[in-house]
Structure 1
Amino acid sequence: MAKLPLLLPLQLPRNDFKENFMGMNVGSNNDDDVMLEVNMTPLIDVMLVLIIMFIITIPAPNNAININLPNGTPPPTNEKPPEVIDVRIDAAGKVFWNNQQVSDRKALETLFQGVVAKKDQDQIKLKPDQMAGYKNVAMVMATAQRLGVTKIGIVSSN
C-alpha cells in the first residue's frame, strides 16, 4: 500500500485583540497562524495614486473657435497726449514747476487751477528731495487735492 502525504488541518486566524487592525499588524503575534486574506490597503493606495496621475496627464479639451477677424486701423486722433509736469521740492522747501521756482502758495494754486481747467488733465509728478520736510510735501499735495487735481503721483529720487 502506498503512503499518503500527511495533511495538516487548516489554521484560521483567531479573533482576538492581536489580529490585524486597519491593515496593520498590531502587537507581536508569536503564533504560527497562516494569513489567508490579502492586505488591500497598499493596493488601494497604489490604485488611487495611479488614477490621480492619469487624471492629471489627460489633456484638457480645447474649446476654442478659430475665426478670422478683419484687420482694422484705429481712427487717427487729433488729441495730443497729456503733458507731464514735474513739481520738485528741494531740501530747503522751495517748490519748482518744470524747473522754474514757484514764488509762493498763491502762484502754485494758479498753476494747479490751469491744470484742472483743461479737458484732459496733465499728469503731475511730485519729486520731493529726501531731505525735504514733510510739511512742504503735504502742503503741495493738499493744495492739489483741494483744487481738484486727479492725476498726481509721487516719484522717488532713487
Structure 2
Amino acid sequence: MAMSAGGAAEGEPMMDINTTPLIDVMLVLLIMFIITIPIQTHAVKLDLPQNNNDQTPPPVDPVKNKITIDPAGIIYWNGTPVDLVTLRQYLDLTKNMNPEPELHLQPDAQARYDTVDRVLSVTKKAQITKMGFVGNEAYGAF
C-alpha cells in the first residue's frame, strides 16, 4: 500500500491550483509585448543657422537694448558707441517693433549728468514706454 504524504485523505481531489502554466503564459505575453513595441528614437531635428561671417548683428535687439554712458561721456548702444542722432534712429526702430523691446539705461557713476540728461531727452522725444534704470546701487550713499 502506498501512503499519501499530503495529509489529505485518499481519493479526494487536490484543492491547490497549479500556477506554473499561468506564469509561463504571462512570460510569453511579456516577451511578445517587448518585441512588438517600436524602438523609440530620442532625436530632435533642428535646422541650425549656418555661420556666416559677412552678416553683422542687427543694431536693435528685439527683446532688450542697453544704453550705457561712460565717464568720458561716450554713449553706447548695446556696446557700440553712438551719437545722439543714431541713438534716436535706433529708438525709433524699437518704437515700431511689436512688442516693444525693453530699454535699459546704465550710466556710469562718474558720468556727467548733462550727458545723461540729453539721453533721457532723446528717449522722451522718441516716446519710449518700456525703460528702466540699471545699476542704481552705484549712486547709493557711501
TM-score, normalized by length of structure 1?
0.46
Selected match of 1:86 from 53, 56, 66: 66
Q: Distance in 1 between matches of 2:85 and 2:118?
A: 12
Selected match of 2:94 from 105, 115, 120: 115
Q: What is the one-letter code of the residue matched to 1:99? A: G
Please state which structure has a larger fraction of its residues in helix. 2
Matched, 1:125 2:104: yes
Q: Distance in 2 between matches of 1:131 and 1:122?
A: 27
Which residue does 2:53 correspond to in 1? none
Q: What is the one-letter code of the residue matched to 2:119? A: V
| Structure 2 unpaired stretches of 5+ | 1-61
Which residue does 1:99 correspond to in 2? 79
Q: What is the one-letter code of the residue matched to 1:142? A: S
Number of aligned positions between the proteins: 76
TM-score, normalized by length of structure 2?
0.51
Q: Distance in 1 between matches of 2:128 and 2:105?
A: 12
Which residue does 2:42 correspond to in 1? none
Q: Distance in 1 between matches of 2:114 and 2:101?
A: 24
Extract structure 1 runs of 4+ deviating beyond 6 A.
Answer: none
Which residue does 2:37 correspond to in 1? none
Is the radius of gyration larger for structure 1 or structure 2? 1
Question: Greater relative contact order: 1 or 2 (C-alpha under 8 angstroms, separation 6 or more)?
Answer: 2
Identity %: 28
After superposition, the CA RMSD in angstroms is: 1.3
What's the CA shift string for 1:71-110, capped at 9, x where partnerless? xxxxxxxxxxx511111000001000111111x2111110
